[in-house]
């Protein structure tokens, strides 16, 4: 994983372990899996719309949101991103 993704995953894990008042990540984790999945779905749709008609910069922004919400889901389920990387490596072989 890149340093940015490592750092972001670490912040998300810290927010899960040490909730902070006012943190969007904490609110999302506290809301539970259904809310996280809802946000992930919204970001997936926004990514598709950006890819179709909103330009490359908007696509990059939406993909960043999608990846962030993916990392939140993984943290909620206690699944390390390394598991996703391992699956990709397995498929690549």
The residue extents of the domains of the chain are 3-92
Q: What percent of the chain has pLDDT over 90?
A: 89
* Tens digit of each residue's pLDDT (9 = 90 or more) over 51-68: 999 999 999 999 999 999
Whole-model pTM: value is 0.92
pLDDT for 93? 84
Residue 91 in this model has a pLDDT that exceeds 80: yes
d(CA 42, CA 27): 17
Contacts of 51 (CB under 8 A, 6+ apart): 59, 62
CATH of domain 3-92: 1.10.287.1080
Q: What is the rounded average pLDDT of the residues 24-40?
A: 97
Residue 82 in this model has a pLDDT that exceeds 80: yes
- Confidence class for position 1, pLDDT limits 50, 70, 90: low
Tokens of 29: 């984790």
d(CA 2, CA 4): 5
């Amino acid at each position: 994983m890149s340093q940015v993704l490592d750092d972001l995953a670490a912040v998300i894990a810290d927010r899960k372990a040490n909730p902070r008042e006012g943190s969007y990540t904490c609110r999302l984790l506290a809301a539970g899996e259904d809310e996280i999945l809802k946000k992930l779905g919204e970001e997936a749709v926004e990514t598709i719309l950006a890819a179709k008609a909103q330009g490359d910069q908007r696509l990059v922004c939406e993909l960043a949101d999608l990846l962030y919400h993916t990392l939140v889901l993984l943290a909620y389920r206690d699944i390390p991103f390394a598991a996703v990387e391992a699956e990709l490596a397995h498929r690549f072989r």
